[in-house]
A and B are shown apart, each in its own frame.
Chain A
Amino acid sequence: MLKFIIKRLLYCTLILFIVMFVIYTLMASLPSGYIEKQARLLSQQPGTQKSYDQWVSEMEVNLGMDKGLVEGYFTWIGNAVQGDFGESWNWTVPVVEKFQDVIWYSFVLSLIAFVLETAIAIPLGILAAKKQYGVADYTISVIALIGISMPTFFLASLLKLVFAAKLNWFDIGGMQGRGYDQLDALGKFLDTCHHMVLPVITLTIVGIGGLMRYTRTNTLEVLNADYIRTARAKGLSEKRVIGYHAFRNTLIPIVTIVGGSLPGLFSGALITETLFDIRGIGFVSYHSMVNGDIPFTMFYLAFSSILILLGTLMSDILYAVVDPRVRLN
């Protein structure tokens, strides 16, 4: 087990190294990025004594972008390993500081949505499988498919239209209402919670479909297995057959996939956060990307690549942990 994990970790590091190089190449070769834009602004300012080209080269030196591709990459990764991701150009604070500021909003948002998702999707998926081809099955399947097919931005707009614009139950976006500063600590907390409701609903609905379908398929497979027929033949109650024998086996793939999505809770919800103005990691990195803020974007891409790799690793490990029949090698 340990050997497997170490081997996989080393492998992941290699993959990450290559991925980051690809991304670094892409980012560094972007023409007309942040530096050019700033240089153009600075060179047009009254009283400036440097030309556009001079500004570009000066800023490149200042921001460490003057090195060649390979050298620059190794410098970047050397600093990154030590936890130094430079200073964000767009937010003008160190990248790590900005990250620590915003990550918890994203995490809490994703966590609540994730808990809701699992709590709703797994029972419903099992129910659909139990009543295969019944009304419940069709309803659940169709709802799951709609959830999968619904683009996030459309769902978010619909929720905004109904609950924010028409019913006025929530604000249209943002994390704090009017008069937030006058509230006491509890009020502030409740206000923020209130603003998180619509994003959480969006994330839950969008994420629920896949898990529901997955649960249903796996439960169906388990229910067709021989040991379920045996359990029924023994005369066990249906409750025990489903709840004990089938459920535990259904959980094997589900735990794998759910565990694999745990690291993803940190990666933020790019679209949802942007649409609802939740200042989480997704929102911040969206604006960094759009404004060509290379240090923050590099950090975010590295961070999400790590999360993806961790997710796969985790689901592999969990697979072995949950199912003793599986041997890792």
Chain B
Amino acid sequence: MSNNKLDENVKANESSNKETKMTLDDAARVKVLSPARLVFKRFIRNKLAIFGTCVLVVLFLFCFVGPLFYPYGQTDIFYGWREQNDDYAYAQIRSEYVNYWNPDIDQDTKKSLSFVERNVNSTILKMLASENEEEQNSYEIVSEDGIYYNLVKLSDDAYALKDSTYVVVADFFGNAIKGVATFRDGFEDLGEEFNAAATAAIKTGSFEFNGKKYDIVKDKNGTKQDYDIYCDTAAEGETKYYFVSTIVTPTFYKTDDFTKYNKDSAFKYTAYAATFTGKTEFTYDNVTFGVKLEDGTPIISRNGEDFAFLAPFTASSSDTATALNIEFQLALEKAVLEMAGNAAAVGTEVSFNALAPKLEEGKPVLDENGNVVLQDTEFVVKREQNDYTVWCISSIYKILIYEAPNSEHILGTDANGMDVLARIMFGGRISLMVGFIVVFIEMIIGVIMGGIAGYFGGWVDNIIMRLVDVFYCIPSMPILIITGALFDELNLDYRERLVWMMAILGFLGWAGVARMVRGQILSLREQEFMVAAEASGLSTSRRIFRHLVPNVMPQLIVQATMGLGSVIITESTLSFLGLGVKHPLATWGNMMNNITQKVEYLTAYAYIWVPIGCLICLAVIAFNFVGDGLRDAFDPKMKR
């Protein structure tokens, strides 16, 4: 190599100074390079080392200068409006029958019927369970006073209570020998023959007279000789209902109507009674309402406009501030009732389309007239026991978690809504800085310990080398894991934790440096220049640190460069395990931590963690290349 160089120099000199005569010992003939330049020249001849240096320069620029030009910091959290499935409304199928009293019924009657009213729900259940068609349509309830009433079925959703046709026609006073029947108002007196028949039947309880069947029952409230005679009389005139018991409820088309009529049970009674008895119109409060059936859903109209629909269904918006529009409610009602009719299993999902307000950034879009713009939206309704949840794609203001790469966030955002590229830059800063600081600590301790041991020898050397042996023997990764877990327990501040981690890493790694320095110094101190240094009366520390250590420098630099790579790997492994540098500080290791824990994340967010891993690799490879190059440059004969 040096021969070549000589030749080149000679050639160069010959070509430039052809006229000047040169002598063998001419200083211009041999270009003498200083040791540093010689090393530099050898270094830049090594292609891999140059590659490594370039990579490092780029990495450093990226990590230390890049953030200056990048608009985001490492802990900025990004929010935005994003489309996503969100609960839109909740619906419920009503299963409880509610009684609406006829406004004409006075309070006393209501009171006397309270027992009947309480039994309505159980009676309806009995009717539903009955196999007898007559019982399905009409069922007798006896009040506490012993008066018979009939609960009649108006439709699948509504029942009504009316007087029974089985009524007391006469009061009977007497015994099995003689008695007198006093007919009540509205019933024709049937005379002595009837009395005789009733008296005869007092033991058996029932008798026939003129083809009609009568029952004679002891009056509970009267004396021993008081009886009531019952008879099934045919219904006459318009039936009077006491109340309507129904599971439906009106859903009003307009909010004003809702506030006006929803609490008005008299209106509800009128509406239900009319609707379920098949009438096409009814009047309430001097307003005429129409009733029509659309797809099996009764719709009440007023002045030709749809007013409310009746269904055993209530819907409420997930957002209490906004009301659900009626088109949506109608569509939802159909979907839900169909699901209920099909006895859909819990968890079944059905999708339907309906008009819903168009939302932008959480607010409804208004047209020029200030009306809400509606758009066709696809909804999904899911059964959850008796409740139904409806959702649709809506726009939500949220932390942008795992955003795909886009123009604003070149590598997207991470699990905390932070910009990945920014965090990679800042993470690189920390990873590299940890590397440098740890290696620096290692070097300082190593040089001091190794220098002392090598220079003084004897028992000092012995003690220090035993210490080196001990540190060599301590398994460092377990220790780091234990201390990492300990920091977790202590809830250490993340900055404090970083400092401690660097200190421990440095403290565990000095033994190799010390051993190398000691070996070098052992051989150096026997050389002549050291004898000269001693002879000229230099102080011990000056001899060690000014004369010996600089001679160890080349090996130190090589070891430090190689050490940087391994420290970066150790640090990132620790952070990857969650035991090193902690959030919110970013490092390359902890950025990969939560992404690679789950399989779904592993595949879905490969674009985040693969570049980071490659960066770690690249940094370590570059440090290794540079270290190799430096070693070759310092001493081409040095053993690898």
Contact = CB atoms under 8 A, between A and B. Distances in A.
Interface of A: 15-16, 18-19, 22-23, 26-27, 30-33, 37, 141, 145-146, 148-154, 157-158, 160-161, 164-166, 172, 213, 217, 221, 267, 270-271, 274, 285-286, 289-292, 297, 300-301, 304-305, 308-309
A31 B490 contact: yes
B479 A166 contact: no
Contacts of A305: 473-475
B474 A154 contact: no
Nearest to A149: B620
Given A149-B617, A161-B603, A270-B477, A30 B482 contact: yes
Given A15-B473, A290-B481, A145 B625 contact: yes
A154 B608 CA distance: 12
B485 A289 contact: yes
A308 B477 CA distance: 13
Interface stretch (B69-77, B325-333, B353-361, B569-577): B569-577
B473 A289 contact: no
B474 A151 contact: no
B473 A309 contact: yes
A19 B569 contact: no
Contacts of A221: 639
Contact of A145 (B485, B486, B621): B621
Given A150-B617, A154-B616, A165 B482 contact: no
A292 B478 CA distance: 12
A261 to B, nearest CB: 15
A153 B466 CA distance: 34
B489 A151 contact: no
A242 to B, nearest CB: 20
Contacts of A291: 485
Contacts, number: 126
Contacts of A301: 475, 478-479
List the 3 closest pairs (A to B, CB-CB), nearest first.
Answer: A154-B613, A149-B620, A32-B489
Interface of B: 48, 466, 469-470, 472-475, 477-479, 481-482, 485-486, 489-490, 565, 569, 572-573, 576-577, 579, 589, 592, 596, 599, 602-603, 606, 609-610, 613, 616-617, 620-621, 624-625, 639-640
A151 B617 contact: yes
A289 B481 contact: yes
Nearest to A297: B482
Given A16-B473, A166-B603, A151 B573 contact: yes
Nearest to A141: B48
A270 B478 contact: yes
Nearest to A267: B475
Contacts of A30: 482, 486
Nearest to A304: B475
A157 B489 contact: no
B490 A151 contact: no
B576 A26 contact: no
Contacts of A141: 48
Nearest to A221: B639
A65 B93 CA distance: 63
A27 B478 CA distance: 12
A15 B470 contact: yes
A26 B482 contact: yes
A217 B486 CA distance: 42
A27 B639 CA distance: 40
A302 B569 CA distance: 25
B596 A157 contact: yes
Contacts of A32: 486, 489-490
B465 to A, nearest CB: 11
A213 B640 contact: yes
Contacts of A148: 620, 624
Contacts of A27: 482
Given A32-B490, A33-B486, A151-B589, 11 more contacts: A145-B621, A149-B624, A150-B617, A151-B613, A152-B573, A154-B613, A158-B613, A164-B599, A217-B639, A304-B478, A308-B473
21 contacts: A15-B470, A16-B473, A31-B490, A32-B489, A32-B490, A33-B486, A145-B621, A149-B565, A149-B569, A149-B617, A151-B569, A153-B576, A153-B589, A158-B613, A161-B603, A221-B639, A289-B481, A289-B482, A290-B485, A301-B479, A308-B472
